[in-house]
Amino acid sequence: MQRGEYQKAREAKDGGKLKIGIVVSSFNSDITESMLEGVLATLKEWSVADENITVFRVPGSFEIPYGCLKLIKEKKPDGIIAIGCVIKGDTEHDRYIATATADGIMRLTLLYELPISFGVITTNTLEQAKIRSTGETNKGKEAALAVLELLA
């Protein structure tokens, strides 16, 4: 797609022909469900048909790359939006989970040449996570836009 065509598609928010996968972590579901709402609202704004959206739930953020791989192989989406939330605890566990998740997503993106957005928020507190998962600061919306704009 040429630059002018991309700009027209972006301005028109034309995602009507796209097949989008969403992998969402069930851990911290109060946060991830709010982010999922932001993703779905953004896909609707871009006219992505409901029947072209597949939501795949995984237990936690660490399992997101596996969920992405499963969608790639079974649903063959044009792009995937990965949604999760990792909150700092008393140990370094959060860093291991976030790093492994990011690495897994990047490997799949490059291996399959498929845009997978990183909508996994990493925060120090639950309050920060709540702020980043609602309203205008909903990182789910941003993750959806990243994939849509790459595909426009």
On whether residue 70 sits in a domain, the answer given is: yes
Residue 69, pLDDT > 80, answer: yes
Residue pair 105/65 in contact (Cβ under 8 Å)? The answer is yes
On whether residue 9 sits in a domain, the answer given is: no
Residues carrying an active site annotation: 93
On whether residue 14 sits in a domain, the answer given is: no
What's the pLDDT score for residue 151? Answer: 94
Q: How many CA atoms lie within 13 A of 127 on its CB side?
A: 0
On whether residue 8 sits in a domain, the answer given is: no
Per residue in 93-131, pLDDT (tens digit) is: 999 999 999 999 999 999 999 999 999 999 999 999 999
Give the integer Cα–Cα distance in Å for 80 and 4: 24
On whether residue 25 sits in a domain, the answer given is: yes
The boundaries of the domain holding residue 70 are: 20-151
On whether residue 62 sits in a domain, the answer given is: yes
What's the pLDDT score for residue 1? Answer: 45
Using DSSP's 3-state secondary structure scheme, residue 67 falls into helix
Mean pLDDT of 57-66: 98
On whether residue 3 sits in a domain, the answer given is: no
Question: What is the CATH classification number for the domain harbouring 53?
Answer: 3.40.50.960
Least Cα distance to 46 among 126, 143, 132, 152 occurs for: 152
CA dihedral 32, 35, 41, 45 (to 10 degrees): -130
Residue pair 85/123 in contact (Cβ under 8 Å)? The answer is yes
Residue 79, pLDDT > 50, answer: yes
Please state the domain count of the chain: 1
Residue 58's contacts (CB-CB under 8 Å, 6 or more residues apart) are: 23, 24, 25, 26, 64, 66, 67
- 38 burial level (CB within 10 Å; 0-12, 13-18, 19+): buried
On whether residue 15 sits in a domain, the answer given is: no
- 111 burial level (CB within 10 Å; 0-12, 13-18, 19+): exposed
